[in-house]
């Protein structure tokens, strides 16, 4: 299999994991991604749009649905009184931690057929592709995750 097919099919695999984890936690894959992004702390709407690759109207709809479900809240941006930030609610924080942990377990299992050295090589190569393409940090390293208090 070539690089292009491997990367595209890997993306489908990871998207399927998000979808499956999301179904089990009662969120859409997009809401799961939003929760994971917000684990690092509140974000402004334009920052979220860039990180998630969503147009303003799509992001507004995603945030609106997430607010209605009690997962996130809008709060004033202390740096700009005209802007708002999106933060996890207590319920969202708990759900984000559960969704994140389960998603990590499932993604990790995707590499069960690799030995330790192969996993290290894969991690380094994927990390280089991500860094070279300046992909936003939308999913934190499992070893560095701490859901920040946003109250």
Q: Is residue 28 part of a domain?
A: yes
Q: Is residue 101 part of a domain?
A: yes
**pLDDT at residue 140, rounded to an integer:** 64
User: What residues make up the domain containing 130?
Assistant: 3-144
**pLDDT at residue 135, rounded to an integer:** 80
CA atoms within 13 A on the CB side of 92: 31
What is the C-alpha separation between 77 and 105, in angstroms, rounded? 34
**pLDDT at residue 95, rounded to an integer:** 96
Q: Is residue 18 part of a domain?
A: yes
DSSP 3-state of 82: strand
- Identify whether the C-beta of residue 110 lies closer than 8 Å to the C-beta of residue 119: no
Cα Rg of the chain (Å, integer): 16
Query: CA 37 from chain center: how many Å?
Result: 5
Phi, psi of 150 (to 5 degrees): -115, 15
Nearest residue to 72 via CA among 104, 101, 102, 32: 32
Which uninterrupted H or E stretch holds 124? helix 116-132
Total tally of structural domains belonging to the chain? 1
Predicted TM-score (pTM) of the model is 0.81
**pLDDT at residue 53, rounded to an integer:** 87
**pLDDT at residue 147, rounded to an integer:** 45
Q: Is residue 151 part of a domain?
A: no
CATH code of the domain containing 35: 1.10.10.10
Q: Is residue 150 part of a domain?
A: no
Q: Is residue 149 part of a domain?
A: no
What is the C-alpha separation between 110 and 56, in angstroms, rounded? 33
Mean pLDDT, the chain cut into blocks of 10 residues (151 residues total): 91 92 92 93 92 91 96 92 93 95 92 95 92 78 50 43
Q: Is residue 129 part of a domain?
A: yes
Q: Is residue 89 part of a domain?
A: yes
Using alpha carbons only, give the angle 96, 145, 138 rounded to the nearest 5 degrees: 70
**pLDDT at residue 108, rounded to an integer:** 92
- Identify whether the C-beta of residue 8 lies closer than 8 Å to the C-beta of residue 116: no
């Amino acid at each position: 299999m070539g690089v292009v097919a491997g990367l595209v099919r890997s993306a489908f695999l990871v998207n399927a994991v998000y979808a499956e984890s999301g179904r089990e936690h009662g969120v859409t894959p997009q809401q799961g991604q939003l929760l994971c992004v917000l684990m690092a702390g509140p974000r402004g709407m334009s920052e979220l749009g860039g990180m998630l690759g969503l147009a303003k109207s799509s992001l507004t709809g995603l945030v609106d649905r997430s607010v209605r479900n009690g997962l996130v809240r809008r709060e004033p941006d202390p740096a700009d009184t005209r802007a708002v930030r999106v933060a996890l609610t207590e319920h969202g924080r708990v759900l984000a931690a559960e969704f994140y942990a389960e998603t990590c377990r499932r993604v990790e299992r995707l590499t069960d057929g690799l030995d330790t050295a192969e996993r290290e090589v894969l991690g380094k190569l994927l990390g280089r592709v991500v860094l070279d393409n300046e992909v936003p940090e939308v999913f934190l390293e499992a070893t560095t995750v701490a859901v920040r208090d946003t109250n």
